Structure 1
Amino acid sequence: MPEHVVPRATASLRLGLALLTGLTSVPALAQETSASRPVTMTPPAWPAPGAPLSVAQVRFPKGFGTRRIYLDAGHGAQGNTGNRSVTCEDEEAFTLRVAEDLARRLEATGHFQVRLSRKSGERVPYPSRLNAARKWNAHALLSLHSDARGMASPWEPSPGQQCYRQDASPGFSVLWSEEADAPLRTRRAELARAIARHLGRAGFRHYDGVDYEGLYATDSAQPGVFVSRVSEPTHRRIFVLRRPTLPSVIIETHHALDFEEAARWREERTLEAFAAAVAQGLVDALAPTAPPESSAAAQP
């Protein structure tokens, strides 16, 4: 039987529920203080409500031009809806929602053209997605997903609705595959590390990889990055990582079974910070020699 997961503090749960049910703002929590000593205010850590995220300006080096980004909304193939979140949202619905938002923000910079792998209601096979990216001569392929980790317990976000919950493993991860020739391996690694680096700078927490043991190796160059090894059996190596002939990564945006983290991914600020970090990661990877001091700024 799954182990019991103890819910977080009542105030935190109340704030998370407010976000998940569509409220755009929530009141700040009052700090209980002692009159005998001063209060030190420290920002909460991600994914707690109110944990800060920064939306950095994206800097484009002179001559960067326009890059073509193929954005895969993970899952959505026939019989493949992905995981179900702590609020019973199918992963395919989450990834499409976030991919559409990210595409809009990337294109708003004027430096990216974006194509989505699927639209609402479409069932697109994964080989067709890779063929479309290749025929379009995309410069990079990003596949968006959410993760489901650890031993989860059933719970009801609303009466009569049962999902699973596990609040112990939050954070993003970025995956790349070493199954390629040396130049492509290098470009994949650079892309994964650049995106993870800027996600961390924005305030997102990286996943420690505890549940990845035996699946992916830890990339020692950048926290939050993991490698699909060529030594693994083929059925355990991910198609959209190993098969593309262009730089490709999977971004596991968060742990979908974590109540607070799922709530944060309903916030506009989260989407803004995510888009800025991904955009800067793309710039770093696709124009890695550009000097930062000669860059022009744009908001995603």
Structure 2
Amino acid sequence: MLGLGLLLLTGPAWASEPATVVPPPMWPAPGAPLTVAEVQFPKGFGKRRIYLDAGHGAEGNTGNKGVTCEDEEAFTLRVAEDLAKRLEATGHFQVRLSRKSGERVPYPARVTAAEQWRAHAMLSLHSDSRGAAMSWSPTPEQECLRQDAAPGFTVLWSESEEATALLQTGRAGLARALALRLGQAGFPPYDGVDYEGLYAIDAEQSGVFVAREPTHRKIFVLRKPRIPSVIIETHHALDFEEAARWREQRTLEAFAAAVAQGLVDALAPKVPAKTRASAPR
């Protein structure tokens, strides 16, 4: 009886230990999940013109060098070409790229082209370079920079002094909508620790930062366009794991879906509130 009582108190050995729940890996670890959401287009959205700027690629301006020594201008063109195809495949966006492979297009010419085309928005794609990096060799023939402690995206907009209040509202709304959807897809927002003195934190949405004149950076493609314009810093180019994730098709698919939905959120016609019927007297 003692043995039976002990067995009843303790229960079977297989039931004594609760199942261990293993959390999914966090970005940018291999296998960290991303969501490719179905883009929802409201009735009457129609087709929007998006000017997609593959950042850098101007004369003498190749951008940063990533963790495997890839020039930023090569990365941005590759991602911009992929994003353009995916946006146009929805049937709701017409996209023009700022440059093709081998072209050297000045930034003023890009802004002029976007405005003359009457684009609804201008997105400039970039990769970021953050923190104190160290030299390393991905192959015996290469010497590159590496810093694995600051992953994540940011979206930048400008409170330029010459912009109207309406234009600044459009820039801010576009930046916040894109950042919200990128975060929902699983891309983590960067906390901005290395942005002090360069940009201010946008209090409305994580991952969004503001260039406030005259104390912060004056970036041409943010300040000059008379259409809503933002920069998307897709990731930290010196982070080995994050740079590797940006060569995956799943990453490009999730990015395109998030950007598409962010554009819809920012550019969809605003439905006026229905006038409430007067209460009977």
Structure-2-length-normalised TM-score: 0.89
> 1:295: which partner in 2?
none
Helix, strand or coil for the counterpart of 2:230?
Answer: strand
Superposed, 1:133-148 pairs within 5 Å as 133-148=114-129
Between the aligned partners of 2:128 and 2:188, the Cα distance in structure 1 is 14
Helix, strand or coil for the counterpart of 1:70?
Answer: strand
> 1:173: which partner in 2?
154
Q: Does the CA-based 8 Å contact 2:170-2:228 persist in structure 1?
A: yes
Which of 42, 51, 56 is matched with 2:37 structurally?
56
> 2:195: which partner in 1?
212
Superposed, 1:62-73 pairs within 5 Å as 62-73=43-54
Distance 1:280 1:252, change over 3 A: same
Please list the CA deviations of residues 257-298 of structure 1 after superposition, one character each: whole Å capped at 9, or x if unmatched: 00000000000000000000000000000016369xxxxxxx
Between the aligned partners of 1:151 and 1:71, the Cα distance in structure 2 is 30
Which of 175, 187, 203 is matched with 2:186 structurally?
203
Give the percent of matched residue pairs that are identical in Structure 1 and Structure 2. 75
Instruction: Work out whether 1:229 is the aligned partner of 2:217.
Output: no
- Pick the structure with greater CA Rg: 2
> 1:262: which partner in 2?
243
Which of 6, 27, 47 is matched with 2:28 structurally?
47
State the superposition RMSD in angstroms.
1.4
Shift of 1:222: 0.1
Paired amino acid for 2:195: Y
Q: Structure 1: which 5+ residue stretches go unaligned?
A: 1-34, 292-300
Q: Does the CA-based 8 Å contact 2:157-2:231 persist in structure 1?
A: yes
Shift of 1:39: 2.6
Please list the CA deviations of residues 233-271 of structure 1 after superposition, one character each: whole Å capped at 9, or x if unmatched: 6xx310000000000000000000000000000000000
Helix, strand or coil for the counterpart of 1:61?
Answer: coil
Q: Structure 2: which 5+ residue stretches go unaligned?
A: 1-15, 273-281
Superposed, 1:110-125 pairs within 5 Å as 110-125=91-106
Between the aligned partners of 1:36 and 1:154, the Cα distance in structure 2 is 47
Helix, strand or coil for the counterpart of 1:60?
Answer: coil
> 1:29: which partner in 2?
none
Paired amino acid for 2:153: F
Structure-1-length-normalised TM-score: 0.83
Q: Does the CA-based 8 Å contact 1:61-1:290 persist in structure 2?
A: no
Which of 162, 178, 203 is matched with 2:143 structurally?
162
Please list the CA deviations of residues 67-93 of structure 1 after superposition, one character each: whole Å capped at 9, or x if unmatched: 000000000000000000001100000
Paired amino acid for 1:212: Y
- Higher RCO structure, 1 or 2 (CA under 8 Å, sep 6+): 1
Which of 49, 59, 79 is matched with 1:98 structurally?
79
Q: Does the CA-based 8 Å contact 2:45-2:269 persist in structure 1?
A: no
> 1:77: which partner in 2?
58
> 1:190: which partner in 2?
173
Shift of 1:231: 2.2
What is the aligned length? 255
Q: Does the CA-based 8 Å contact 2:158-2:210 persist in structure 1?
A: yes
Please list the CA deviations of residues 71-117 of structure 1 after superposition, one character each: whole Å capped at 9, or x if unmatched: 00000000000000001100000000000000000000000000000
Q: Does the CA-based 8 Å contact 1:171-1:206 persist in structure 2?
A: yes
Helix, strand or coil for the counterpart of 1:161?
Answer: coil
Structure 1 residue ranges (4+ consecutive) displaced by more than 6 angstroms after TM superposition: none
